[in-house]
Amino acid sequence: MSDMTPQATIRSGAVPRFPVSLPYRLALAWCGFLALILVVYGLQLDFRLADAVYQWQGGEWALQDHVLLQEWLHRGGRTLSQWMGAGVILALLASLPPTPLRPWRRPLLFLFLAVAGSTLAVSILKQLVSMECPWGLARYGGDWPFVGLLEWRPAEMPDTACFPAGHASAGYAWLALYFFLAATLPRLCWLGLAIGLGLGLAFGITQQLRGAHFLSHDLWTLMLCWTISTLLASWLLPTRHHPQRRLILPHYTDETSPDA
């Protein structure tokens, strides 16, 4: 039977075993990510890129309120992600009763939890960690000095919510489509990856051009979204093991047991 048939790849009602190797895979991925972040900080790539964009705009954030960036890609992009989320919720609700969508219930539940969990995690971190947006720094015409992620923050500086990148999470959260399609329509899993990366890059670059975020802000958001999707996929999405489809972290198992 072709792997394009959902019923052939979805184990409806199965409870997957959490892969023993998952913590090691996550640890390895995070070590690589932190090494990349150290390179970004060490080479001051955040400032180099922001300086170039700022000077290209004539020493100001001239594109901050540009209709294409502000209305279409910022507000419109957020609306697009919300409509996509609403579609997932409707499909999940339709899969609850005995209907042709019933075999998709677990993958749809994963997709909902992964997207919602990713955006929520980024939103919570934005409230817990205070960092300035580029447009708020004296270096770029703002009022405040730059204070690094692990540096002591002067009490007189206001609380801000510019880290990690919230708008980019509305795109990178859809990396969950890679896992969703890997478990349902495996031939299309790379399309899911392209959608998640494409939306995240589009939204992230939009905010960098507007002076709202540094490059590292987007990288942190990307890694957080990928981690949350990986953890939930390992829990909710058992599927056949295809080594050629593994992308750093996905690792599923065929060993399942019936629901209670």
The amino acid present at 51, given as its one-letter code, is: D
CA–CA distances in Å: residue 176 to residues 96, 162, 171, 197, 247:
21, 24, 10, 10, 13
pLDDT-based confidence at residue 239 (cuts at 50, 70, 90)? low
pLDDT-based confidence at residue 150 (cuts at 50, 70, 90)? confident
Statement: residue 13 has pLDDT above 70: no
The predicted structure's pLDDT at residue 5? 47
- What's the pTM value of the predicted model, to 2 decimals? 0.85
pLDDT-based confidence at residue 90 (cuts at 50, 70, 90)? very high
Contact by Cβ (8 Å): 241, 253:
yes
45-56 vs 189-210: helix axis angle to the nearest 10? 60
Contact by Cβ (8 Å): 164, 131:
no
Residue 218 and residue 129: Cα distance in Å, rounded? 15
Percent of the chain with pLDDT over 90: 80
pLDDT-based confidence at residue 251 (cuts at 50, 70, 90)? very low
Kindly report, residue by residue over 164-199, the tens digit of the pLDDT: 999 999 999 999 999 999 999 999 999 999 999 999
Residue for token digits 């060993």?
255
Statement: residue 7 has pLDDT above 90: no
